[in-house]
C-alpha cells in the first residue's frame, strides 16, 4: 500500500529525515516511536503533503502512485488521512459544513452524487457514538473552544466519517486521560479492516496496549534505527531511548 524509499526531508533548509525506508501493507498497524525531535511529525506531514516540507531525496509510492505528484486534497480523496497532533481551530467554519464539504468532495472524486441531508445527519450520529464524541457539533466551529481531549476525539471522528485507506495518527494519545484513550482506541480498532492500514505515531507505549501494532519502528535522529514486533514498545518503555544511541551512531 505504502512504500517509502530512502526518504530525505528538510524544513527551511534543515535536514530532518535522513534516509527512511518503510513498507506498509493492507491490514497492518505500524507504530512509530521515538523521542522528541526525532522527525515523527515531519514524516506524518510529508505523507499528508504539507507545503513547507522539502523532499530532497527518495520516493514514496502510495497505492502504486507517486505520492509527491498529488496535492494534499487528492491524497485525502485517495484515502490518506492524517490525525493532527495539534488540530487547527477554524472560527466561522462550522463542523457540519466542514464535514459535509469533505464527504461530498470525496464522493465527487469517486464519481458519486452529494450525500442527502438525512443520510449525512445519520452518519454523523453514528460516528460520533463510535468514537465517544459527546460534543454537540451543530453550531460549533471546527475545533474552536474544544478541550484538548475533544480535539483529539474530533480527529478520530473525522477519520470515522471519511473511512480512510491509510490513517496516520500523530500523537493522538497526548492530552488524553485513560478513559478517553480507551474510547479513542476502541474507535480506531473498530475501523480496522483487512483492506486498510494505520500508522500510529506515539511517545508512549500506553496507547499500544489498546491499539496493538503488528510492527514497531524506532525513529531516532531522522532514521529508523530499529524495527521489530510489538514487544519492542515494552522494551522502550523500560529502557528509554538512550540505549539506541550506539546503533544510531
Partner 1 sequence: MDIKEDLISLFRQNTDVLESGSGPIINTFRKQAFRDFDRLGIPTTKNEAYKYTPLDKYLQGNYDVELNANPFKVDLQDIFKCDIPELDTRVILVLNGFFYPVEQAGQLPGGVVVCGLSEASSKYPELFNRHYSHYADTSADGLVALNTLFAQDGVFVYIPPGTVIEKPLQIINLSHSFKNLRITRRNLIIAGDNARVNIVVCDHTLCYQSYLANTLTEIYAGKNAIVDYNRMQNENSLSIQINNLFVHQEENSRFTGNNISLHGGLIRNNMYVTLNGPYAEVNLYGLFLSDEKQHVANYVLVDHTLPHCTSNQLFKGILDNDATGSFNGKILVRKDAQKTQAYQKNNNILLTSAARMNTKPHLEIYADDVKCSHGATVGQLDMDAMFYLRSRGIGEKESRHLLMYAFANEIVSKITIPVLKDRIINLVDKRLRGELSRCNNCDIRCG
Q: Which residues bind partner 1 (CB under 8 A)?
A: 48-51, 71-73, 75-77, 81-82, 84, 87-88, 90-93, 97-98, 101-102, 105-106, 109, 141-142, 158, 162
The C-alpha cell of 137 is what?
457539533
Residue 70 phi/psi, 5-degree rounding, is -105, 140
- Give me the residues paired with residue 240 across strands: none
Q: Say how far apart CA 197 and CA 80 lie, in whole Å.
A: 10
98 vs 210 by CB, closer to partner 1: 98
| Residue showing cell 493522538 | 172
Q: Say how far apart CA 35 and CA 60 lie, in whole Å.
A: 24
Pairing, β 65-66 against β 223-228: unpaired
Least Å from the CB of residue 84 to partner 1: 7
Least Å from the CB of residue 37 to partner 1: 20
105 vs 214 by CB, closer to partner 1: 105
120 vs 210 by CB, closer to partner 1: 120
User: What SS3 state is found at 114?
Assistant: coil
8 vs 98 by CB, closer to partner 1: 98
End-to-end CA distance of the chain: 31
Indicate the burial class of 113 (C-beta count within 10 angstroms; 0-12, 13-18, 19 or more).
exposed
Least Å from the CB of residue 151 to partner 1: 12
109 vs 243 by CB, closer to partner 1: 109
38 vs 158 by CB, closer to partner 1: 158
Among 175, 202, 200, 204, CA closest to 187: 200
Least Å from the CB of residue 157 to partner 1: 12
| Residue showing cell 442527502 | 116
Least Å from the CB of residue 76 to partner 1: 4
- Give me the residues paired with residue 224 across strands: 219
Least Å from the CB of residue 102 to partner 1: 4
Amino acid at each position: 500500500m505504502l512504500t517509502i524509499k530512502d526518504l530525505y526531508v528538510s524544513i527551511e533548509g534543515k535536514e530532518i529525515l535522513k534516509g527512511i525506508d518503510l513498507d506498509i501493507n493492507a491490514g497492518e498497524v505500524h507504530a512509530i516511536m521515538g523521542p522528541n525531535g526525532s522527525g515523527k511529525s515531519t514524516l506524518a506531514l510529508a505523507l499528508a503533503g504539507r507545503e513547507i516540507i522539502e523532499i530532497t531525496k527518495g520516493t514514496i509510492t502510495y497505492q502504486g502512485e507517486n505520492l509527491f505528484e498529488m496535492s494534499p486534497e487528492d491524497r485525502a480523496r485517495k484515502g490518506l488521512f492524517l490525525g493532527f497532533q495539534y488540530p487547527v481551530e477554524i472560527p466561522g467554519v462550522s463542523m457540519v459544513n466542514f464535514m459535509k464539504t469533505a464527504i461530498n468532495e470525496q464522493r465527487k472524486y469517486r464519481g458519486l452524487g452529494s450525500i442527502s441531508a438525512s443520510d449525512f445527519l445519520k452518519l454523523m450520529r453514528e460516528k460520533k457514538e463510535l468514537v465517544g464524541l459527546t460534543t454537540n457539533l451543530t453550531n460549533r466551529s471546527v475545533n474552536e473552544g474544544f478541550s484538548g481531549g475533544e480535539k483529539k476525539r474530533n480527529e478520530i471522528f473525522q477519520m470515522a466519517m471519511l473511512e480512510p485507506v491509510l490513517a496516520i495518527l500523530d500523537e493522538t494519545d497526548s492530552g488524553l486521560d485513560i478513559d478517553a484513550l480507551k474510547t479513542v482506541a476502541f474507535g480506531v480498532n473498530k475501523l480496522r479492516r483487512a483492506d486498510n492500514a494505520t500508522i500510529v505515531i506515539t511517545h508512549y507505549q500506553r496507547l499500544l496496549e489498546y491499539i496493538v501494532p503488528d510492527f514497531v519502528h524506532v525513529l531516532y535522529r531522522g532514521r529508523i534505527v530499529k524495527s521489530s514486533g510489538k514487544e519492542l514498545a515494552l522494551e522502550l518503555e523500560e529502557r528509554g531511548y538512550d540505549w539506541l544511541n550506539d546503533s544510531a551512531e
